[in-house]
Amino acid sequence: MEVLIERNRGFAAAFDQGDLPIPPAERLAILTCMDARVDPLRAFGLRLGDAHMIRNAGGRASDDALRSLIISANLLQVRSVAVVHHTDCGMQTFTDEALRTRLAEELGVDASGLRFLPFSDLEESVREDVRRIRSSPFLPPDLVVGGFVYDVRSGLLREVPSA
């Protein structure tokens, strides 16, 4: 972990953006995957301070992601949300039951109450998350929500039409 502190010292030595306001400049929140191959700022032509980045396994509209979006939209002036899943996602490689079984066998724990939100259909998972966000009674009805797939091989972003 010491290497992180050392790298941060180099970053901080040249840091000159400490005056950015709390609300994001683009009034945008991006919900995307934690995958290390996805760099949302660079991939979407954004800069520090432009958008809220909400990341989790699969870029899913989990309860915690919704919690963050509720705060973004209701307190921090966010007016649009981009749900961005990606190709070659690890969330397509297992099922809830398979992971629960693995956790029981390897760690001796009962994960029957956990939902990990894996998916088999990439576009449908985007549509499902867009629907979940749009249907939340805790988000403004005029919040613009769009769904996208990011291609980790080409770097291209494509819109997923709503169903």
% of the chain at pLDDT higher than 70: 99
Distance, in Å, from the CA atom of 79 to the CA atom of 27, rounded to the nearest integer, reads: 5
How is residue 118 written in tokens? 């894996």
The pLDDT of residue 75 is above 90: yes
Number of domains in the chain: 1
128 HSE (CA, 13 A, CB side): 15
Q: Quote the strand ranges of 11-102, DSSP E.
A: 28-33, 51-56, 80-86
The pLDDT of residue 104 is above 90: yes
The pLDDT of residue 82 is above 80: yes
Phi, psi of 104 (to 5 degrees): -65, -45
* Residues 142-157 pLDDT 10s: 999 999 999 999 999 9
Q: What number is the average pLDDT over the span 92-121? A: 97
Residue 65 identity: A
Which CATH number goes with the domain that contains 73?
3.40.1050.10
Does a structural domain hold residue 12? no
The pLDDT of residue 96 is above 70: yes
Does a structural domain hold residue 122? yes
Does a structural domain hold residue 132? yes
Does a structural domain hold residue 1? no
Mean confidence (pLDDT) of the chain: 97
* Residues 55-74 pLDDT 10s: 999 999 999 999 999 999 99
Does a structural domain hold residue 8? no
Q: Quote the pLDDT of residue 73.
A: 98
Given pLDDT bands bounded at 50, 70 and 90, which one contains residue 163? low
Given pLDDT bands bounded at 50, 70 and 90, which one contains residue 162? confident
Does a structural domain hold residue 5? no
Domain boundaries, position 122: 19-159
What global pTM score does this model have?
0.95
Does a structural domain hold residue 10? no
| Strand 157-159, strand 144-150: pairing | antiparallel
Partners of 41 in the β-ladder: none
Residue written as token pair 């949300």: 81
Does a structural domain hold residue 39? yes
* Residues 47-58 pLDDT 10s: 999 999 999 999
